[in-house]
Amino acid sequence: MHDFRTLLESKTGFIPRTQAQALRGIDEGILNAEFYVYRAVNVHPIIEEPWDVNEIDRLLAKEDLDLETTAILMIVFERMILNKDKELALFAAESINALERRYLARIQILKKRFATNSSKKTIRAIIHEYKVMGRLFASRPVLGDFYLHEARRFHERYADRLYDPDEDLAVYIDTLLEIKDYTVAANILGDAIDRYPGHERLHFLAARLAFIQRRINDVIRHLERMNPDKNLANHADVQQFWTRGTCREQ
């Protein structure tokens, strides 16, 4: 068996940084196939130190980077930016800015689309992107709150068109809870539950607000209105925890 270092030897001096570069190098006969495997498979979790900057760089290059991976990268960058190594800290700062620009670019594309086709779907997509940015930058309260407030403002601007209990009202209430505007959230929730008395997600949000305000009896009351046979955010377990299995039958 070849030594690991020998397997990853590049006679031309070309070292691929991405899977695509490694694959092209193999096609052109200047790299071993092991380079592609090395770039394609990462056995070291990106969140653990020592950080694999090449793997992080590879992930950042992906256009279809999923939200969960992006959130993990943000955690890594927030830690990395405090590192004594100035180059590593600079890499983290530039990466955070790159991710922010990526999401802002998405919003700009959606807003241009909205200018010619003002559909509910586009409005909801813009709100979603703002909320995602608010969560990604949660460790930076000023920036995170700014994007959450943008989500709120955009919703309120088109509130007359956004009245679906799942896709609109629940999302709006969730935003209000995240920015800690509990008074408005309580008013909207009251009206929404009056209009949709059997809607489980609204009761779940009401239970969440009641817990924040330490109204434990109301937490239980709203959870009892939820059907434990449905797997809404694993609320069967939540309901069991709060009510000790003594929920009234619906």
Selection from 3, 40, 32 nearest residue 15 by Cα: 32
Which two tokens mark 47? 């969140």
Residue 4 lies in a domain: yes
Residue 5 lies in a domain: yes
Residue 33 lies in a domain: yes
Residue 78 lies in a domain: no
Residue 241 lies in a domain: no
pLDDT digits (tens, 9 = 90+) for 138-170: 989 899 999 999 999 999 999 999 999 999 999
Task: With a cut of 60, say whether residue 101 has pLDDT above it.
Answer: yes
Structural domain span for residue 30: 1-41
The number of distinct structural domains making up the chain is 1
pLDDT category of residue 235 using cuts at 50, 70 and 90: low
Which two tokens mark 208? 């969440």
Residue 24 lies in a domain: yes
> Is the Cβ–Cβ distance between 17 and 54 less than 8 Å?
yes
Which ranges of 137-169 would DSSP assign to H, the alpha helix? 141-157
pLDDT digits (tens, 9 = 90+) for 14-72: 666 666 676 677 776 666 666 656 555 555 677 777 888 888 888 888 888 888 889 99
pLDDT digits (tens, 9 = 90+) for 222-234: 888 876 555 444 5
Residue 240 lies in a domain: no
* Average confidence (pLDDT) over 203-208: 94
Residue 10 lies in a domain: yes
